[in-house]
Structure 1
């Protein structure tokens, strides 16, 4: 169902203020792209349903394809999930979350690439070190890591969602399962301490001279969370679908845009995920949203170890032979289905440029009708 309100509407309302609300020109360019997504400004196309009992025409405006856009993630998510499904093998998969403390938020504002890149590297170093320990696995692991930078109220809350198979490949090239026997992967308290020490070590290696910051980072415990393994491969894929191409806020969470205020739904996880409504001035809403625009060309989904692009072609095939390949029902990309009959697929028959929809003169209409009549 199409949402009643959109982030793009807020951006268009404050179009003349984007420069003052953003920290840099890259954020401004990103928000400008989001504001015109699926409008006549980007041109569009006319599609016809290939179902002979339907054959309806649909006019669509082009999307901006920006990874921060609430309207552009569905098709990308489907494609990414289909690729990952082919790489599953029969084992337990665990969900780990590495969270940075709020004391680092100020550094995020000034050096986001450093903070986020170090988060990825440190999380992998921790997983790799614990997996190498014979007490837990004693083998080379793999990991898929997904960066999220936001909390429900749109403030900075950098954390990494990770999927880790419950085992690894030993020196003999064989699979070795985790010793926790599907009850736990690694001890989270020990991981939290190592995570903090390695991250601070990484900051020092980057010549960040701030004794006050280091003192504050060691003044509190850091958080590493590890859920019990998924029930099966279907749950792994569903999880990936929820988290991989998620953005700071979806259009469906916005409840109203009026009188210069944006009201949206949020969850309070300190109260068990209880829902509440939060209202912000449009300018503040945009300012917070812009905090989560990643640096240019920064990769927010990364693969490591036996799941890395370098090794997975060999390792995944080896493990699927040893442990068994998982076959899931073929996925249907709902974004390609006709919205009228929900059975046929849309076929593009006409494209038009950024000057808006094509003039519906007699020649154009006759051409389209002839195309529609074709079986």
Structure 2
């Protein structure tokens, strides 16, 4: 490492952040009626990459520049902490690819379930995952095939409204009882009829809701579950049968590798990225969104601080909730035992999973060297020697 040169704080981008809204909102956050887990999550986002979480001092091994960086919160809802996890996830999935057609299928819940999603998110989102998989499984079994699926939960629309849906990557075929791969069609251009998928998906979900109602009406919980609540559940279930449900299937991907890169855009997304926030003043937040009712035209929305955070908090998932799930022959159990054999049968050499890459940030000064951590500090701030070194640096001329 060459001699120390200058001292810089790492640049921060973009200009506005969700954390800025939280800072402006201040103690008013407690008046929004959020639960303790949501408040805890928002607190982590507010502290992310600030002195409250401590930090580290890095030196460039090429130009000697010294920079200071604050630690990340690593919360999965944080707009600043997703890129590293996404890259690692993509690398892991690339070792599991098969040379077969893949389809992007989206399962969407109707908006009449939004109220239930707010009050019982874990139950509803579990039902969504289970119903989607059981739907595909039903169609696969009719062909004598074991299907596979990777599903990612999103709960938001572009304007931060509640819009629960699953993005699923589904191989266009399955494995028969002998472990042999079979395409659903020889040309690979067809998965299943979406209208039929929608009807089966609705039936599966409504059946789970009906079963949940019967559980709530058992003798152990009868006193807690009033007749009025039972009637509301039944009305909800009936209204679900009257509404058309949406299942959307896109055309197959061009190559199997593009599948993972495509899904990688969805896996670690959050309700809104900092880059979409265009302005924050003392009362409102302005952000970009796409209006898909008008062919994806870009628009801007202005919300009060309270409404912006209230909408953002709707998409904070329950504690320990798994938002990316693997099913069928893409499940972890099946992959550990049989995936390599299937890849060999399909004529590709199985790839071994590489150990996680050590993240090596580049120097923002020379753009060439790697940053090496030379000291860490807690919320009390940088060590004395660093402060003295900072003060001794000459002020750059303008």
TM-score (norm 1): 0.90
Alignment of 1:92-103 (within 5 A): 92-103=101-112
Equivalent in the alignment of 1:372: none
Quote the residue 1:285 is aligned against.
308
Task: From the superposition, tell whether residues 363 and 275 of structure 1 become closer, same or farther in structure 2 (CA, over 3 Å).
Answer: closer
Q: Work out the CA distance in 2 between the residues paired with 1:55 and 1:65.
A: 28
The question of 1:245 aligning with 2:254 is answered: no
Query: 1:144, 1:303 within 8 Å by CA — same for their partners in 2?
Result: yes
Q: How much has 1:334 moved relative to structure 2?
A: 8.2
Larger radius of gyration: 2
Paired with 2:270 and 2:68, the residues of 1 have a C-alpha distance of 27
Q: Partners in 1 of 2:363 and 2:260 — Cα distance?
A: 25
Partner of residue 76, structure 1: 85
The count of corresponding residues between Structure 1 and Structure 2 is 359
Label 1:55 to 1:166 Cα distance change in 2 as closer, same or farther (>3 A).
Answer: farther
Give the match's secondary structure for 1:241: helix
Task: Answer whether contact 1:7 1:251 (CA < 8 A) is retained.
Answer: yes
Alpha carbons 1:90, 1:326 under 8 Å: kept: no
Go from structure 1 to structure 2 and tell me whether the alpha carbon gap of 1:170 and 1:267 turns closer, same or farther (over 3 Å shift): same
Change (3 A) 1:175 1:345: farther
Alignment correspondent of 2:114:
105
Of residues 279, 282, 300, the one that matches 1:259 is 282
Alignment pair present for 1:235 and 2:258: yes
Match of 2:371 in 1: 346
1:96–1:162 Cα contact (<8 Å) kept: yes
On the 8 A contact 2:340/2:350 being kept in 1, the answer is: no
Aligned counterparts, 1:184-223, within 5 A: 184-207=190-213, 209=230, 210-223=233-246
CA distance in 1, matches of 2:328, 2:367: 41
Is 2:23 the counterpart of 1:12? yes
Q: Could you say if the C-alpha distance between residues 279 and 90 of structure 1 is closer, same or farther in structure 2, counting changes exceeding 3 Å? A: same
Q: Could you tell me which residue of structure 2 aligns to residue 368 of structure 1?
A: none
- In the alignment, is residue 355 of structure 1 matched against residue 364 of structure 2? no
Q: Which residue of 2 aligns with 1:124?
A: 133
Separation of aligned partners in 1, 2:362 and 2:257: 23
Distance in 1 (alpha carbons) for counterparts of 2:50 and 2:115: 36
Which of 26, 36, 51 lines up with 1:25 in the alignment? 36
Equivalent position SS for 1:179: coil
Q: Distance in 2 between matches of 1:4 and 1:38?
A: 15
Secondary structure of residue in 2 paired with 1:193: helix
Aligned to 1:143: 149
1 CA distance for matches of 2:277 and 2:264?
21
Native 8 Å contact 1:5 1:251 kept in 2 = yes
Do the aligned partners of 2:153 and 2:324 also contact (CA within 8 Å) in 1? Answer: yes
Aligned to 1:154, which of 156, 160, 175? Answer: 160
TM-score, reference length from structure 2: 0.85
What secondary structure does 2:332 align onto?
coil
Contact 2:210 2:237 in 1 (8 A): no
1:172-200: CA deviation from partner (whole Å, max 9, x where unpaired): 11111122622121110000000001100
Deviation string for 1:249-276 (max 9, x for gaps)?
0000000001311000000111111100
Secondary structure of 2:372's aligned partner: strand
- Structure 1: stretches of 5+ with no match in the other structure: 366-375
Partner of 1:369: none
Partner residue in 1 for 2:169: 163
1:297-336 equivalences under 5 Å are 297-323=320-346, 324-325=348-349, 336=361
Shift of 1:364: 7.3
Q: Tell me, what secondary structure is at the counterpart of 1:34?
A: helix
Deviation, 1:333, is 8.6
Asked if the contact 1:19/1:25 (under 8 Å) is kept, the reply is: no
